Chain A
Amino acid sequence: MTEQKNAENGHSEELSFWRKYVFSTDHKVVGKQYLFIALFMAILGGVMAYYMRWQLAWPETAVPGAGWIPEPTAFGGIIPPEFYNALTTMHGTIMVFFVGMPFLLGAFGNFLLPLMIGAKDMAFPRLNMMSVWTLFLASLVMIASFFVEGGAASAGWTGYAPLSADPIHTGVTWGLNLWILGLALEFTSFLMGGINFLTTTITMRAPGMTMYRLPLMVWMQITAAVIFMLSVGPLIAGAILLLLDRTVGTGFFIPELGGDPLLWQHLFWFFGHPEVYVVLLPGFGAIMEILPVFSRKPIFAYKTIIWSTIIAGALSFLVWAHHMFVSGMDPRLAMPFSITTILISVPFAVVIFAFMATLWGGSIRFTTPMLFALGTVMTFIVGGATGIFNGSAPVDIFIHDTHFVVAHFHFTLFPDVFLGGFAALYFWFPKMFGRMMNETLGKIHFWVTTIAFNAVFIPMFVLGLGGSMRRVYNPLQYDFLKPMQGINEFITYAAIVLLLGQFIFMFNFFWSMFKGKKAERNPWNATTLEWSVSYPIPHDNFATIPTVYHGPYEYSLPGNKSDWQPQHEENEPVSG
């Protein structure tokens, strides 16, 4: 790899359009490519959510905007049960693997990590390019799965066997095979990315950039990379077996053939729980950069945050069966997994308290990124707290597979992926595109998104406690759910507002990219290295590699005239 790196570092010749913007090895271009894939897939996932919400509020009526879908997938906009199942499955799959991961790890990890550590690029630029194109291919496979005979995967985003193991249960044939293939490609993409993140951070930090001077965003990215790498392997093995069951006719997960369907659940959640932290940590990493900047205070308990997240990452391998309390596994496992689940909330509570302590006594500036960052923390607390309900076996047995659970995980993932992701995007947009996003539109976007989000998911807790089952196609089929139909309609109105509110963002995003106010080099007066280079950042980032003298969050140091101390400047900046 090293020889090609030399060639790339010593580039002076003009690169062709294709090498510069399409098959680029520049981590900044790769990061932006991840960003666009994530935003595109988010639109798909959002439209699917809209179709599902309409069906739940006004079952089996024509969905406005679904008339174009050909038969037999839908019938003049009316969504049949088979398509509804595919929608729930693919919404989950797309939002977690094709939005959450590309947005937070792919886009911001790639764009920021080399800049933040003071490196000229990733350790393996070509592997980096391959990782984004592998994800692109994976996305195409996932989209294609809608158009094959039998439709897209419809065994739930968790793909539980035996539902997923034999096509006779769902009628889905190639759709689910492509689902497995698409996920396999996605896993490959992020394994390649993770190898790059880890190797780059360990071997290519600028002089003076010790591990304890790394911005927390970098720590969160590499912790997430390790967690992903260690959790996904057994699921890859399981996915091979599932594919063999479906194509060759083996019976690894089919009870009639001597298989064990429960094993799939173990494999899925051994990966699935760590996976939520893979998505969560980089989102939190963005928050950890933004809170100090707009509080003008050092982050509270820097090392404690690092070790809390590492402990949480380690514990995340010991909690998976809290998803399986009613699955028929040995009930003696319920107690230990309840205990580990309650334990894992401790390190996260520590991190949340560190966020609050960072704000305490700071001079807070309510910019758009700061609003989104604060919104992330506030909404995540609800998600985290309700997780303790789900994780305690006695409570979970009552609320399992109800909309309570759906509300819970949306209260963890939505704030993280979207509120946290938007916070990051508004914050680093000037570094990515050289212009500022519009603050007024940004603030409107924030309030619409946050209020509508809460209006969708707080009532959903009530729905779940009332016994409403998740994945149910038509709630009106059940007499005991009929009195709660008004809640379903309210949720759908709120969801439509939530989705429409994103047009504000899309307009702001594209308008600002071309017409926004030109950004200064360091518009937020931040300390970390990415703010030391001017837009457009050259392919090799730094003309000379900076030397790092300070930790990442030296704001409002006593005795300094200016209230920030860039990491790469030995003394306080003169242009205070």
Chain B
Amino acid sequence: MSGATTVSEYQATHTVPGRMGIWWFLASEIMVFGGFLAIYILYRMASGGAWAEMANHVSAPIGTFNTIILLTSSLTMVKAFEAIDNEKRKQATNFLLITVILGLAFLGVKAFEYSSEIALGFTPLSGTFWAFYYALTGLHGLHIVAGVIFNASLLVMAMKGTLWPNTQHRVEYAGLYWHFVDIVWIFLFPLLYLSY
């Protein structure tokens, strides 16, 4: 971990500040999504059959497909980090590229899904379930967008070769964030697609 030596000259612990900062950031994100999901579950429990009727119209196959895309991208992100750790630059660059492509694929599928739902008349104003559906997947989607931008910036640096020797540890931070967004989706998928 470059830079760590200068920091540790006066450091009390050996934890790298960047990594700890990411963890605190994720802790606050957990509270945002945790609160959001708690609200959603409260509404779901308080509502009756109308909800099930609405929730029946989301496409579980598309959701499943997107889940697989996102899980795969988490795996390639781990591979990228592993390659960084083993000083395999070419391999790291390739895995970053696949991760970015999979992130974009997720967004593409999601956009297709939105447009087909809107075409069928299911908008955020079509009832409480749909309002939640768009709010939750929208917020999650924005997190994916942020993640793709961050990952892509690392990819560009990796391709130019400027990622080394000072900034490669950012792949680890990007990975932690990317896994978090992935885990949020793991909660969203059954709650939204299988809630009837």
Task: Give me the interface of A with B, judged by CB distance under 8 Å.
Answer: 1-3, 5-6, 9, 118-120, 123-124, 127, 191, 194-196, 198-200, 202-207, 209, 229-238, 240-241, 244, 248-252, 257-260, 263, 267, 545
Name the distance in Å between B10's Cβ and chain A's nearest Cβ: 4
Which of A9, A118, A123 is close to B6, meaning CB atoms less than 8 Å apart? A9
Known interface pairs A202-B15, A258-B128. Does A230 touch B21 (Cβ–Cβ under 8 Å)?
no
Please name all residues of chain A whose beta carbon is closer than 8 Å to the beta carbon of B24 when the two chains form the complex.
194-195, 198-199, 229
- The reply to whether B21 and A206 contact each other, CB–CB distance below 8 Å, is no
Please name all residues of chain A whose beta carbon is closer than 8 Å to the beta carbon of B36 when the two chains form the complex.
234, 237, 240
- Confirm or deny: B52 has a beta carbon within 8 angstroms of a beta carbon on chain A: no
Residue of B nearest to A120 (CB): B10
What 1/0 mask marks residues of chain B from 131 to 160 whose CB sits below 8 Å from any chain A CB?
100010001000000000000000000000
CA distance A205 to B42 in the complex (A): 43
Name the distance in Å between B118's Cβ and chain A's nearest Cβ: 13
Which of A1, A205, A249, A258 is close to B21, meaning CB atoms less than 8 Å apart? A1
Range for the number of chain B residues in contact with chain A: 35 or more
- The reply to whether A230 and B27 contact each other, CB–CB distance below 8 Å, is yes
CA distance A6 to B4 in the complex (A): 10
Name the distance in Å between B93's Cβ and chain A's nearest Cβ: 20
Please name all residues of chain B whose beta carbon is closer than 8 Å to the beta carbon of A191 when the two chains form the complex.
25, 28
- The reply to whether B17 and A252 contact each other, CB–CB distance below 8 Å, is no
Which of A3, A119, A127, A233 is close to B32, meaning CB atoms less than 8 Å apart? A233
CB-defined A-B contacts under 8 Å, sample of 28? A2-B1, A2-B17, A2-B18, A119-B10, A120-B10, A123-B20, A123-B21, A191-B28, A195-B24, A195-B28, A203-B12, A203-B16, A207-B10, A207-B12, A229-B31, A232-B31, A233-B28, A233-B29, A233-B32, A234-B31, A236-B32, A238-B35, A240-B139, A241-B135, A244-B124, A244-B131, A259-B128, A263-B39
- The reply to whether B10 and A252 contact each other, CB–CB distance below 8 Å, is no
- The reply to whether A252 and B128 contact each other, CB–CB distance below 8 Å, is yes
Residue of B nearest to A205 (CB): B12
Name the distance in Å between B182's Cβ and chain A's nearest Cβ: 19
- The reply to whether B125 and A248 contact each other, CB–CB distance below 8 Å, is yes
The 9 A-B pairs with the shortest beta carbon distances in the complex, nearest first, are A233-B31, A234-B35, A2-B3, A205-B12, A237-B36, A123-B17, A233-B32, A250-B131, A545-B10
CA distance A127 to B18 in the complex (A): 11
CA distance A234 to B173 in the complex (A): 24
- Confirm or deny: B38 has a beta carbon within 8 angstroms of a beta carbon on chain A: yes
- Confirm or deny: B86 has a beta carbon within 8 angstroms of a beta carbon on chain A: no
Name the distance in Å between A191's Cβ and chain B's nearest Cβ: 5
- Confirm or deny: B108 has a beta carbon within 8 angstroms of a beta carbon on chain A: no
Please name all residues of chain A whose beta carbon is closer than 8 Å to the beta carbon of B12 when the two chains form the complex.
202-207, 209
- The reply to whether B35 and A235 contact each other, CB–CB distance below 8 Å, is yes
Known interface pairs A204-B11, A238-B39. Does A251 touch B128 (Cβ–Cβ under 8 Å)?
yes
- Confirm or deny: B115 has a beta carbon within 8 angstroms of a beta carbon on chain A: no
Within 8 A of A (CB), among B25-49: 25, 27-36, 38-39, 42-43, 46-47
Please name all residues of chain A whose beta carbon is closer than 8 Å to the beta carbon of B167 when the two chains form the complex.
3
Which of B9, B17, B29 is close to A203, meaning CB atoms less than 8 Å apart? B17
Please name all residues of chain A whose beta carbon is closer than 8 Å to the beta carbon of B3 when the two chains form the complex.
2-3, 5-6
